[in-house]
Structure 1
Amino acid sequence: MSGNTAGPARGWLALLCASRLLQSMIVTAYSGVLPFAMADWHMTAAQAGSIQSAWHVGYMSSLFAVGLLADRYGPQRIFFAGSAVSAAAALAFALFARDHLSAMLLYGLAGLCAGASYTPGLQLLAHNTEPAVRGRAMGLFIGSSSMGYALSLAVVATFSHLQHWRLGLLVAAGCTVAGALLTIQALRRMRPPSPPVPGSAREGTLHALAATVRDKPAMAGNWAYAFHCWELMALWAWLPAYLVASSGTAASWQGAGIALAALAHLVSVFGSIAGGAASDRLGRARVMMIATVASLCMSFAFGWMWSWPLWLLAAAAAVYNLLAIADSSVYSTALADVVAPHRLGVAFSVRSVMGFGAGALSPWVFGLALDWGQIRFGLGSTHAWVAAWSSAGLGALLGPLMIARFSRLHRAHMAAR
């Protein structure tokens, strides 16, 4: 913690989480309209997945940049300015995407502008909370994201049934504007930035990057996070399409498929909060390991559930989402635990490149596996979806090994202090 003794004002965390909820709605807006855009724009599964991958490439880049900028100029400034730019980019995507190429470019741009509501937010949480309750606070913040993902899919499901799927995109983008406005009130209630220590020199970016790469506990946790993101981003990108495809061709059932995907995200809010709180009591590595192994089992089993009744498949999707998200906040908390505050932004930047780099590839690889499976086994085949969902599990298999390494190195680091 910083040496600043002035505490944050009441309500700062609620406002921060509300801002995050609204700004995160654009993240799943495309996955909610993916089956409809795929038909209207005559795209293959790989092309449809590449649009989501473009988001993750842009998001990864922005997370790296804003982490560096936040260390230099302060997370408060970057959080506010970046939120405004992100809202404008989200509106541009909703208004002007017309085909595969324009959607890929504009959604990639929206992702490129979206990182300011995440990495600086994590730094602000670390600055305004004590370690004993930091996991719960991180869980609430990540859970707010899941709530936004669920609300976005619910909006898309409603408008795809009543009006047109593009109107759902516009509503989701409009919510990012409201979220950007809420950042003003959230920042006013937070602990003031810590003044620089007299006589201390600012650490250069390259030096901080080198120190982070040499930090073995931090990098072990970052690698575990990368494998986690491979699985999670594929799940988020393709779950609505999977439920829509399983539901049949009737428009009402397709809308129900997206709504059930929203419900799965809503259930995962509990996973984020429970996982973060459990890590405060049971330890970061233990919670990460339990959640990772359980979600891996779901990745390899989920494709085989293709022919289940829709209500039962949706229940399994909710469990899958809950397990996959349960440790997301724990990775952030664990990194804040082991990295010095003055280079936490750089450490989050390195983690973001690794995690969202993996997450950028996995939706595209999932689409390639689905295309291959449909050619090999036929359209609507269970085996095609088994191949696709197995690609999510295969890319995350090394996660448990990295978690075990993080646990061992962290214990050695703490013993040496």
Structure 2
Amino acid sequence: MTQVRTEPLGNAHLLAIVLAQFAGTSLWFAGNAILPNLQPLLGTTALSGWITSAVQLGFIAGTLVYTLYRIPDTYPATRVFLVSVIAAAIFNLLILVLPLQSGWVLLSRFGTGFFLAGVYPVGMKIAADWFRPVLGRAMGFLVGALVLGTSLPHLIRGVGQSLPYESVLLTVSVLAVAGGLLLVWVMPATPVPRRPGTFSLSVFPMLFRPGPLRAGVTGYFGHMWELYALWAFLPALLTIYSQQHPNFLFNKSVWAFLGIAAGFIGCAAGGLIALRFGSQRVATVNLMISGCCTALIPLMVEAPPAFFLAFLIVYGITIAGDSPQLTTIISTNVPDHVRGSLLTLATCIGFSITIVSIQTLAWLLPYSGNSIWAFWLLVPGPILGLWGLLNKPATQ
């Protein structure tokens, strides 16, 4: 059985995990950030939904493989992280090597997502192994790093609009590998069982047994329906806003960065607040507010720019702020020896849900003439999450 340290490591170690997670997950939305550059070269505008879904599909496939072969629980987690982030960075750069065609672009994004399965969930496992007494705080900073990493390509493109897309891809790939090297250098390896990993389906039913674990899982699934679809179509939302306010000129990429990056505040602050009030309360409040923000989108696009930006930041804070606390609830209610596998499995199912919401919204927006009311498709997500958390109280 995997041994777990009873006292957390220092803040320097937590910072190393946070920086590695930030660097590794910057690969996630690199394709979205450069999509405006690629579309004229590819001669198509049909990739807006698939450029994200390809990463999600790859991530789903990767998490299934990592789970079924118990890779996070069989090998030292830091090494799994490093090998995975190197492979993800290589796939991210395939766009620069292979012929510039839609199929190859989607293959590059799929491969990137596949190996991100050894980055995001494994980073959470490392935090759960070493920071159990302050896990809510640790998860807050860790998921906050994911949020910042996700938003980084938008910032790079927004600040350096003259940068070629090749430079954006190269920058995030180098950053990702550097983060993996930092993690291996700073963090001690978690002890692992001597027996090799086996192909096992035994962990699947654990997620759905009545109790606090299922409450956290249901909350997480509802949260995922809403989160990535909004992140993927935030540029589209900003385009609709600019059409409503043609006299207001603003940098859409920078605003997209602000809307996503604000989630770091929600994750980090929520982690600190959870130490006093518990993860369930923090997750519930965030789901309530983000759900209300989703419902208010059609009204907010008519608001003045300063008001809309404030709304966007509040939305960004709360739509991501529940994620680390939902992960904390799941992490603290699973056995130590399958924690990595179950975290990876829950993440796999969560990202499968994002495929449905992203592709449905991708179909609905053009079908409705880019009507802002299409974003109401996301409202059922927080409703489901709240039902799960409030129907069966969690222990955290």
TM-score (norm. length: structure 1):
0.84
- Superposed counterparts of 1:388-407, under 5 Å: 389-407=375-393
Alpha-carbon distance between aligned partners in 2 of 1:204 and 1:219, rounded to the nearest angstrom: 24
Relative to structure 1, is the Cα distance of residues 312 and 34 closer, same or farther in structure 2, using a 3 angstrom cutoff? farther
1:275 paired with 2:270, answer yes
Q: Which 5+ residue runs of structure 2 have no aligned equivalent?
A: none
Alpha-carbon distance between aligned partners in 2 of 1:401 and 1:40, rounded to the nearest angstrom: 46
Match of 1:385 among 372, 376, 390: 372
2:155 matched residue in structure 1: 154
How far apart are residue 341 of structure 1 and its match? 0.9
- Superposed counterparts of 1:102-113, under 5 Å: 102-113=104-115
How far apart are residue 404 of structure 1 and its match? 1.4
2:21 matched residue in structure 1: 20
Contact 1:155 1:171 in 2 (8 A): no
1:65 matched residue in structure 2: 65
Match of 2:253 among 234, 258, 269: 258
- Superposed counterparts of 1:106-125, under 5 Å: 106-125=108-127
Q: Higher helix proportion, which one?
A: 1
Alpha-carbon distance between aligned partners in 2 of 1:289 and 1:147, rounded to the nearest angstrom: 22
Relative to structure 1, is the Cα distance of residues 259 and 24 closer, same or farther in structure 2, using a 3 angstrom cutoff? same
Moved more, 2-11 or 178-187: 2-11
Q: Which 5+ residue runs of structure 1 have no aligned equivalent?
A: none
Contact 1:230 1:392 in 2 (8 A): yes
Alpha-carbon distance between aligned partners in 2 of 1:176 and 1:145, rounded to the nearest angstrom: 12
Contact 2:79 2:184 in 1 (8 A): no
Match of 2:297 among 298, 302, 320: 302
Relative to structure 1, is the Cα distance of residues 202 and 236 closer, same or farther in structure 2, using a 3 angstrom cutoff? closer
Alpha-carbon distance between aligned partners in 1 of 2:33 and 2:196, rounded to the nearest angstrom: 48
Contact 1:28 1:236 in 2 (8 A): no
Other structure's SS at 1:26 match: coil
Contact 2:207 2:346 in 1 (8 A): no
Alpha-carbon distance between aligned partners in 2 of 1:57 and 1:370, rounded to the nearest angstrom: 21
Aligned residues: 393
How far apart are residue 308 of structure 1 and its match? 3.6
RMSD between aligned alpha carbons?
A: 3.1
How far apart are residue 335 of structure 1 and its match? 0.9
Alpha-carbon distance between aligned partners in 2 of 1:41 and 1:146, rounded to the nearest angstrom: 29
Name segments (4+ residues, structure 1) moved above 6 Å.
Answer: 200-204
1:178 matched residue in structure 2: 178
Alpha-carbon distance between aligned partners in 2 of 1:104 and 1:307, rounded to the nearest angstrom: 35
How far apart are residue 166 of structure 1 and its match? 4.4
Alpha-carbon distance between aligned partners in 1 of 2:318 and 2:222, rounded to the nearest angstrom: 14
- Superposed counterparts of 1:264-413, under 5 Å: 264-374=259-369, 384-387=371-374, 389-407=375-393, 410=394
How far apart are residue 95 of structure 1 and its match? 5.0
Contact 1:61 1:112 in 2 (8 A): yes
Contact 1:55 1:360 in 2 (8 A): no
Contact 2:151 2:261 in 1 (8 A): yes
TM-score (norm. length: structure 2):
0.88
Alpha-carbon distance between aligned partners in 1 of 2:350 and 2:130, rounded to the nearest angstrom: 25
Alpha-carbon distance between aligned partners in 1 of 2:146 and 2:89, rounded to the nearest angstrom: 16
